[in-house]
Amino acid sequence: MRPALFVAIAFASASAIAQTSPSAIQREIITRAVHSTIDRQKTEWDDWKNADDHRVVLLADETMPFPKFADGDAMEYRASIFMENRALSSQLEKAPILTLRDWKLIPRSDCSGTPEALPAVRLVPPSTIERVFKGKPLDPSVALAIRMTTPVLSPDGRQAALYLEYVGSHVDDSGRQLTTMSRNDRPSEWDDINEIGRLLPIDAATPQECEISVDDRAVMTSALTWLTSQKGHFDLLGLFDRGGSPSDWRYQLRSGDCHVDVGEGTLAQLQRRNTAEQTFDPSTLPIAGVRTLDVGDSRIWSEPSVLVSLPAYGNDIAILFMTYRTASRKPEDIVETSSYLVVVRRSDSGSWSVVWTNVLESVMIT
């Protein structure tokens, strides 16, 4: 029995030696990555804004292996063009697992030296949060779960890279992030470049959500009629051709001082309905000042044009988005696009009217 016991103890000791702690610079990088992820939750979802929000952040107390992305995974392509420093890329793939059990999040201080208020960060075994990264909901006492690879450094210590995954408590609140950092002229300060991709899939739309209802047509008609009052005539080309992000919509609602209560369930429905493949004939919405064109029509883009989403509902309100694009008759034309988020309310009589809008404008040269 004694030789077997000796072998078991020797094996355990070897494993413990292999499980090393991060260096001082690696601790800086880990701290910066956690700060950045917490900041995202604050910005996108207003987490911890209220003094009575005591939800915690869970961080895996061991780093994770760098994942092997499946063929066709968008992150595989991003990784291949993102990690220009091949030495860092190779290190990420081979980095040892580190233990973070003695790491602590150090608060940043403002100009007056006052430390910022931060949520409590608890270190937990990776197995404790494994199910969250497979789509299971967080405990109500938790706002965010994070795990990351071991940070790797260039030989001169001025460049670094890591891969991080996070899951938050909100709708479509998860992501994968490749980060490269460059140390600037000030000690302990880094400039980051992040490439973020989806971690968990979007829920599929229900069969009922895939159907276009009478209310859908009424809400879309109300929004498009309102747009004609702002922009004049335009061509309606059909449904918006890509989905959106609930966090972006929440940010627009908040930054645009929307006083209408739009719940996360409604934003989730808006995303589901406009991620699924849909067939829609825009000519079924006859609106004064709006010409409907088929996608193959040669006149597309010769006049201002609009794409509209299917709406989502919550009590007596609906929300949808539209994109307005100016005409491009010549190759050198400057094209302006305006992305509208629109809230529509149903009156007691059953009619729908626009009660709030927010617009994001951009310019591109064709």
pLDDT at 14: 44
What pLDDT is stored for residue 365 in this prediction? 52
- CA nearest neighbour of 336 among 306, 311, 313, 291: 306
Question: Which residue in 300, 308, 299 sits closest to 280, CA to CA?
Answer: 308
Q: Which helix (H) or strand (E) holds 221?
A: helix 214-231
Q: What radius of gyration do the chain's Cα atoms show?
A: 25
All structural domains of the chain with their residue ranges: 20-197, 214-365
What pLDDT, on a 0 to 100 scale, did the predictor assign at position 9?
A: 42
Angle, to 10 degrees, between the axis of helix 246-255 and the axis of helix 264-273?
A: 130
Nearest residue to 225 (alpha-carbon basis) of 165, 311, 179, 290: 290
Report the chain (366 residues): mean pLDDT per 10 consecutive residues. Answer: 45 49 92 95 92 96 92 72 70 92 87 84 97 95 97 89 95 92 76 87 90 94 96 91 81 91 94 86 87 84 92 96 88 85 96 95 64
* Domain 214-365, CATH: 3.10.450
Sign for the CA dihedral angle at 230, 235, 238, 242 comes to negative
For 319, residues 6+ apart whose C-beta sits below 8 A from its C-beta are 249, 262, 266, 267, 270, 311, 312, 341, 342, 343, 344
pLDDT number for residue 249: 92
Quote the DSSP letter at residue 362: E
